[in-house]
Chains A and B, each alone.
Chain A
């Protein structure tokens, strides 16, 4: 299925027009995207570094994961809302940008990983889970979300 007509429509939509016409609003959207990324990264790192026994070793990992996941969802919503706003203004350019597709692939992988694998696993008592599995999940999570952030930055370079 060719998605180009959708991207062309997105660029002419109200959202796309606002981002294209008002540079200041677009820049604020970019800043909010970065702040949301920082919060998202903070929650991911907090959980994963705890599972790897790097930080907060004296706090139960269930407690850390539960608290971090609440704010992860808030951050993910903000990242996606501001990301859609930013992409809409330059949608046609995004369609032809390989890093945009790399980021979308990493993002979808990250979301699927969190909600289909990591979260269901971490809802169980962590003592019942093989420590190697916990550490592997934490490492995979770090790699995926680092890829989301890095590919996102490279969209602007290509």
Chain B
């Protein structure tokens, strides 16, 4: 049911002229993809610095809350660029991407990372006054920072793997892959 709905939606997107034009435009598509990758330096770069501060790996003599609050804006600008370019990349190749197991795993990891970030900031704001000048954050926040790094490593990896067609629906796949990728007969 869900897979059928997603498939129909992706086919509708695919039928739009703009989707085809973006996909077939050598320069436009590649610029969007390049921007998506280069924005990693801003979004993930700032996230790495914040998480590493919590883990006591860098800038340990600067209050943790100062690092988190000052780098939040550039990080969010980076993530906004990534979301916009990511949506455009999806829009350019909607049918194959919808049925990509890597894209689906990436999407789940993105949701997990967003929930983790929300809980992390909530906990940070609640407790920071008691440990702000400590070189390391309390254990629970360190776990959240470590989890954040792990989740983003997974997001980058699955994002890169979308380009590979090993588990694409046009190939003969196991029942599990067919189900997980949501393969529908075209």
- Interface residue ranges, A against B (CB under 8 Å): 23, 27-28, 30-31, 34-35, 37-46, 49, 54-56, 58-59, 63-64, 67-68, 70-71, 145-146, 149-150, 153-154, 157
B157 touches A45 (CB 8 A): no
Residues of B within 8 A of A46 (CB): 45-46, 49, 71
B112 within 8 Å of A by Cβ? no
8 smallest A-B Cβ distances: which pairs? A41-B41, A42-B45, A38-B44, A31-B157, A41-B45, A153-B34, A38-B40, A157-B30
Given known contacts A31-B153, A35-B153, what 14 new A-B pairs fall within 8 Å (CB)?
A: A31-B161, A34-B160, A39-B45, A40-B45, A44-B41, A45-B46, A56-B70, A59-B70, A63-B59, A71-B57, A146-B41, A150-B38, A153-B33, A153-B37
Q: Which range holds the interface residue count of chain B? A: 35 or more
Question: In this assembly, does B48 line the interface, its C-beta being within 8 Å of a C-beta of chain A?
Answer: yes
**Least CB separation from B52: chain A residue:** A71
Shortest A65–chain B CB gap in Å is 11
Where chain A touches its partner, the secondary structure class is: helix
Q: Is the Cβ of A63 less than 8 Å from the Cβ of B61?
A: yes
Interchain residue pairs with CB less than 8 A apart (22) = A23-B166, A34-B156, A35-B152, A37-B40, A38-B41, A38-B156, A41-B40, A43-B45, A44-B41, A45-B45, A45-B46, A46-B45, A46-B49, A55-B74, A56-B71, A67-B59, A68-B58, A149-B37, A150-B38, A153-B30, A153-B38, A154-B34
Total CB contacts across the A-B interface at under 8 A: 107
Chain A residue with Cβ nearest B42: A45
Determine the main DSSP class of B at the interface with A: helix
B111 to chain A, nearest CB (A): 20
**Most interface-central of A44, A54, A59, A63 (chain B CB within 10 A):** A59
**A42 and B46 contact, Cβ closer than 8 Å, known pairs A23-B164, A34-B156, A55-B74:** yes
